[in-house]
Structure 1
């Protein structure tokens, strides 16, 4: 991890501890479609992108016209209600202060919608830490963060070889490789450590540990 000058942070499951809100929202969807609720370990062992076929497998059915919109509405309704009770990950915002104190920079990229994300980051008092904040601004055929990360780095004018993405799912690692950047994956989010380790990227227990790795501690 030598030569890293910039961190691109993921939000959900990385800087924001929202596992319980995600699971509750997923079980809201399960109830809507007559499926038994799942536990967190099931979710962490099965979640993947692209997200539509994943949900079809979870629910045991192919979506008819309009049903994916129902899934989104049910999920967002529950998640939005639970969001105020979600805390920041342990060590945040202190670890953001500490990284900035080294003279290096950081930004935030999430697959949450841009319109939802930007005011949320401001409400949490974190905007000042980031040189750029991007949510999902466009849809892609592969439903991956890769295209969004490439656009994000272009907007920053950053050399990918000096960038590390810190996120909590295997797609974060895939996106970093596609963009020519590096990744550290944290096992405190919505994907199991075993699945993260299978990517070949370094895995840390928490975002704070990921930063310690970068700082050589």
Structure 2
């Protein structure tokens, strides 16, 4: 990786997304989605199709997937089907290419980094610890509260405020358009990796920088001004 230097314009703090960014879990996500499909009488889908429609808010996304609206109690059933099947496949998920080396590199050059995911906080924190990644991060936050828009935006504001970070010196690295939206609303920059749950074309439509891996994302972060 190129020599890193920081000045008053470069981002000095990275906020990492987890699923699809640092964790290569597309296959676990797809298996869980297809468990929902099976539970609601829909044929299974391929990954590229899911990457073409996945979005937040999740309820409307899944209603499009199933071709109908949820009746009372059905969304909770869909969540349970998804969660139980995702957890079953989680042990087969590896860290993304270049992780954790890229985390070591960023810390070693004087940058700081934290992790913010829309996964449940109580689910997320042990996973980070089990994989030995906690020491890399100044803060690890999962979803601690619900929001009307089901977006990462309010969570990111909360995450940055609690660390007293200047959003202008922060870059969020994620894998879906909601990551770019959250960064924009919080006053931060964003870089999106095309290896997660959203197609490259949809990521590029956000206007954010799009790369292929976390390693490329960190190299790109050093060029942002």
TM-score for both structures, normalised by structure 1: 0.98
Of residues 45, 52, 55, the one that matches 1:45 is 52
Structure 1: distance between partners of 2:48 and 2:60: 20
Structure 2: distance between partners of 1:183 and 1:155: 20
> Which moves more between the two structures, 202-211 or 9-18?
202-211
Q: Tell whether 2:98 aligns with 1:91.
A: yes
Of residues 166, 173, 177, the one that matches 1:166 is 173
Q: Tell whether 2:139 aligns with 1:132.
A: yes
Displacement of 1:88 in angstroms is: 0.1
Q: What residue number does 1:54 align with? A: 61
Displacement of 1:214 in angstroms is: 2.1
Number of aligned residue pairs: 216
Q: What residue number does 1:11 align with? A: 18
Displacement of 1:65 in angstroms is: 1.2
Cα deviation, 1:115-143, whole Å, max 9, x if unaligned, reads 00001100010000000000000000000
What do you get for the CA RMSD once the two structures are aligned? Answer: 1.0
Contact 2:171 2:221 in 1 (8 A): no
The secondary structure found in structure 2 opposite 1:147 is helix
Structure 1: distance between partners of 2:176 and 2:78: 21
The secondary structure found in structure 2 opposite 1:37 is coil
Cα deviation, 1:37-85, whole Å, max 9, x if unaligned, reads 1000001111111100111111011111111111011101110010011
Unaligned runs of 5+ in 2: 1-5
The secondary structure found in structure 1 opposite 2:118 is strand
Structure 2: distance between partners of 1:167 and 1:82: 22
Q: Tell whether 2:196 aligns with 1:189.
A: yes
Displacement of 1:215 in angstroms is: 3.3
Displacement of 1:20 in angstroms is: 0.2
Q: Tell whether 2:153 aligns with 1:150.
A: no
